Homo-oligomer: A and B are copies of this chain.
Amino acid sequence: MASAKSSARKKSRAPPKAPRADNRLPQILDAAAALFAARGYQAASIRDIVKVAGMLPGSLYYHFANKDELLAAVYGEGVRRISTAVSAAVAKESDPWAGLEAACVAHLESLVAPSPYAKVVISVQPADVPPVAKALIALRDGYEQQFVALISALPLPLHLRDRKSRTTLRMLLLGALNWAPTWYRPSGASPKRIARDFIHLIKAELAP
């Protein structure tokens, strides 16, 4: 996906060929996501990952140049999934506050879902993987633009209408949500409940 296999596309005499149907790249991504999420990036070894995917270690390097780029691919897919879930949730609402609330619920539900892709986005710290750190941060920043838009649409009281206040609000909200997986327990409050409680605590008085 994000790997360096573009190569030159010559049409003269050497058909580009299509990827095959038995391509096991999806299994690799799934296995990597599961193990990165469960044990952390460094502790998940290539051998563990390919074993789950049913391959041999060397085969992975046909798809990815190295372990870092495998992480980048999983991370990108994670961001894409969260982003899709949030967009879908927001699309159903028209009121600005309801939209933000729906986005927060979808965001947190993605983070604590059984699917490990989103968990990788939260638990892997870009700074711990210098070669791709910038790429990972860019992916995350891109996603957070959704929240920039949502918050800029809020009808806030006059003294909080400036850009700085809205940034503070975004950091407060996203930080609290991103941290929630560290104390979340399936037996406790649901993601929906948690996200709504956060929003209501803030909204109750900020709404006009």
Interface on A for B, CB 8 Å cutoff?
Answer: 39-40, 42-43, 123, 125, 128, 160, 165, 168-169, 171-180, 182-183, 194, 197-198, 201-202, 204-206
Q: A175-B176, A201-B202, A202-B202 are in contact. List 14 more A-B contacts (CB 8 A).
A: A40-B42, A40-B125, A42-B42, A123-B125, A125-B182, A171-B183, A171-B194, A172-B172, A175-B175, A175-B177, A175-B178, A175-B180, A178-B179, A204-B205
Q: Does A165 contact B201, Cβ atoms closer than 8 Å? A: yes
- A187 to chain B minimum Cβ distance, whole angstroms, is 15
Count of identical protomers in the assembly: 2
Task: Write out the residue numbers on chain B whose beta carbons fall within 8 Å of the beta carbon of A176.
Answer: 171-173, 175-176, 179
Q: Which 5 A-B pairs have the closest CB atoms?
A: A205-B205, A175-B179, A175-B176, A42-B42, A40-B128
Contact partner of A197 (CB less than 8 A), chosen from B168, B183, B198, B205, is B168
Task: Write out the residue numbers on chain B whose beta carbons fall within 8 Å of the beta carbon of A171.
Answer: 176, 179-180, 183, 194, 198
A123 to B173, CA, bound (A): 20
Contact partner of A128 (CB less than 8 A), chosen from B39, B173, B198, is B39
Nearest-CB residue, chain B, relative to A184: B171
A168 to B182, CA, bound (A): 14
Q: Do A201 and B42 form a contact, CB below 8 Å, given A123-B125, A176-B176, A179-B176?
A: no
A201 to B166, CA, bound (A): 10
A204 to B42, CA, bound (A): 43
CB<8 Å pairs between A and B, sample of 10: A42-B43, A168-B197, A168-B198, A171-B179, A171-B183, A172-B198, A174-B179, A175-B175, A175-B180, A179-B179
